[in-house]
Amino acid sequence: MDSQTSQPSQASQSPHTFQVDLRGLVDLLSHHLYSSPKVYLRELLQNAVDAITARRAEQPDAPAAVRLYAEGGTLRVEDSGIGLTESDVHSLLATIGRSSKREDGLQAARSDFLGQFGIGLLACFVVAERIRVVSRSARTPDAAPVEWTATDDGSYTVRTLPHEARPEPGTTVHLVARAGAGEWLTEERVRSLARDFGSLLPYDVRVADEAIAELPAPWDRAHPSPATRRVALARHCHDLFGFTPLDTIDLNVPLAGVRGVAYVLPSAVSPAQRASHRVHLKGMLLTERAEQLLPDWAFFVRCVLDTDSLRPTASRESLYEDETLAAVREALGERIRSWLTGLAAGDPERLAAFLSVHHLGVKSLARHDNEMLRTMLPWLPFETTDGRLSLEEFALRHPVVHFTRTVEEYRQVAPIASAQGIGVINGGYTYDSELVEALPSVRPGTVVSELDADTVTAHLDAVDPAEELALSGFLMAARAKLDPLGCDVVLRAFHPLSVPALHLDDRAARHEQARAEAEDQADDLWAGILGSLRGSAPRARLVLNHLNPLIRRISSLRDPELIGTATESLYGQALLMAQRPLRPADSALLNRAFIGLLEWATHTEPGKDDLR
């Protein structure tokens, strides 16, 4: 191969410039980067505020004013900022991705600026077909004002103007609405957006001479007393979020550059519901939907705060997930945790009111935080056989803290366990069983034990062997009837006397029952596989109460068919008492037993054993 032909041509080594389709880029911005066209006004305010910040870095006494005027589908935004020269215009306004904040002389003050990505005026094309910028530099007072005019087809022109066109340093931006976007440039809409985005800006911002900024921020304003401050913040919460809070929590983290408040929701919400918070960046509203600002367990509050340390994403509509945000999240979570411990120490009534609504959030926190669990032991409510109690109070009453892992298990054993003097906690609700199991770690010496069917049965009184032997025929008939359902029958004596029968099982028994049902319905291959999985798990059991008068009468029956019908009825009634979900076989059994009893009651032959 010829050595000359193997070398790349000089033309192929020449650099090329990317060609940008401005119309396509505007469509990308409006439909993918930004959530709404309203961000155009934030970009205008941001550029104006950054220009003023830049000028004040060099001239601390320089004026700091932003004026907005909307009329007839046009918008004019004036600022007293640093301004631009003709070379600045070519370098900054006409180069997508370039930002004045990267220029020499401003890098040191970069942290004072809102903008970080140099998209700038480009976002205004979302609502405007033409943008005209008239600017005069404060750095070069002798430089003539310059005008930059651009249209959404990607073309622009630049020209210098007479000095009288812009006597003072600063910038004026003129927008002309694009077709169908005129509503975004009405005075009412501009005022609403400016107030929403700029209410915490540190400069004099006005729309048609009406002040927008409401400084100091609501959480920084002085009040005659804590009570009046709480009322004022509650009013602010209602105006902002539409609800009156149970309480307010100050979120002051100076090291992270964060100040604001958290408002406690007045009603319970699902832990899975993502909370949305309002975040201002150096006074400018960044987002109303910051979801990652607080720990997941703090779903019971809504926050509004101002920060100068967190990084925005490219659209400046959410927060960038980095180490700084993680540190701020932890610090804000600590503030909320401190508020809770403060209530526990000094304001139990407010804490009780809070926990009556949001105990789930506190339980979520306490399961990972032993100190919080220790603090909340006297307050967190649990469902128990002694009523609704805290773990602390329940542990003081019972030497062994028994609990169930599911609501169904609790409903099975609660009435009987209570009558036998066994204290049981319902651990079937979210986080409850985890907290009960963690109890010994914060209360040394506490014995915690999961309650199962064997434990309950062991606490029931055994029947005299002679009496049980005399009833062996009845028990055999009853067991034969329930054996196909995977249920044993045992005879015990227990209180309350009004309970004729008790259905007991545990998760292992239910698992084995489900496996057996699947085996019955499977083909030969799967039946063999499921059969090989058969375990030695205990079966469910129907515990008959020998002290109950009805059981005594049924056990004296001599007709095996009637014994079977009565046993099925007792089984079904015990399932209903435990509020267990009924399988199709259980429903069929209940119907069969009910009809069988009706037939027996209406066709009793003289001399035949009966239940009377």
Question: Quick one: CA dihedral 46, 47, 48, 49, positive or negative?
Answer: positive
State yes or no: pLDDT of 444 exceeds 70. yes
Which helix (H) or strand (E) covers residue 472, if one does?
helix 472-482
Percent of the chain with pLDDT over 70: 81
pLDDT given at position 12: 47
Q: Who has greater pLDDT, 58 or 527?
A: 58
pLDDT of residue 509 exceeding 50: no
pLDDT band for position 101 (50/70/90)? very low
Mean pLDDT confidence for 514-528: 48
| Residue 558 near residue 610, CB atoms below 8 Å | no
Please say if the pLDDT value at position 575 is more than 90: no
What pLDDT sits at residue 241?
92
Q: Determine the pLDDT at residue 526.
A: 47
**Across 8-22, 543-557, 569-583, least confident range:** 8-22
- What is the tens place of the pLDDT at every residue in 457-481? 777 778 888 888 888 888 999 999 8
Model confidence, pTM: 0.70
Between the alpha carbon of residue 99 and those of residues 116, 121, 236, the distances in Å are: 8, 11, 36
Name the E strands within 137-247. 146-151, 156-160, 170-177, 204-207, 210-211
Contact of 128 with 150, CB cutoff 8 Å = no
Confidence of residue 38 (pLDDT cuts 50, 70, 90): confident
The rounded mean pLDDT for the chain is: 81
**Mean pLDDT throughout 104-111?**
39
Give pLDDT, residue 118. Answer: 41
CA distance 440 to 443: 5
Nearest C-alpha neighbor of 250 from the set 327, 342, 380? 342
pLDDT, tens digit, 9 for 90 and up, residues 41-94: 988 998 899 899 999 999 999 999 999 999 989 999 999 999 988 888 877 765
Give the containing element (helix H, strand E) for 593.
helix 584-602
Question: What confidence tens digit (pLDDT) does each residue in 221-252 have?
Answer: 999 999 999 999 999 999 999 999 999 999 99
Q: Tokens 């609504």 label which residue?
A: 357
Average pLDDT over residues 364-393: 89
The reported pLDDT for the residue numbered 14 is 54
| pLDDT of the residue at 121 | 72
Of the candidate ranges 127-141, 176-190, 255-269, 416-430, the one whose mean pLDDT is the lowest:
416-430
Task: State how far the Cα of 398 lies from the Cα of 3, in Å rounded to an integer.
Answer: 94
Which residues partner with 542 through β-bridges? 489, 503
H/E run at residue 563: helix 560-577
pLDDT at 558 over 80: yes
Q: Give whole-number Cα distances, 572 to 457, 503, 580, 581, in Å.
A: 19, 9, 10, 11
Any idea which of 21-35, 279-293, 410-424, 556-570 has the lowest mean pLDDT? Answer: 21-35
- Helix (H, G, I), strand (E, B), or coil: what is residue 347? coil
Confidence check: pLDDT of 300 > 70:
yes
pLDDT at 119 over 80: no
pLDDT given for residue 26 in this prediction: 60
Report the distance separating Cα 284 and Cα 303, nearest Å.
Answer: 15
When mean pLDDT is compared over 89-98, 123-132, 258-267, the highest value belongs to: 258-267
Q: Is the pLDDT of residue 602 over 90?
A: no
Q: What is the pLDDT of residues 399-415, one digit of tens each?
A: 999 999 888 778 877 87
Pairing of strands 156-160, 146-151: antiparallel
Q: Is the peptide bond before 60 cis (omega within 30 degrees of 0)?
A: no
Quick: pLDDT tens for 125-161: 888 999 999 999 999 888 899 998 888 777 788 899 9
Lowest-confidence region among 51-60, 418-427, 533-542:
533-542
pLDDT average, residue stretch 556-584: 83
pLDDT of residue 24: 66
- Cβ within 8 Å of residue 143, ≥6 positions away: 85, 86, 136, 137
Q: CA-CA distances (angstroms) from residue 200 to 194, 195, 280, 506?
A: 11, 9, 8, 59
Would you state the pLDDT for residue 253? 87
- Which of 99-108, 204-213, 220-229, 256-265 has the weakest average pLDDT? 99-108
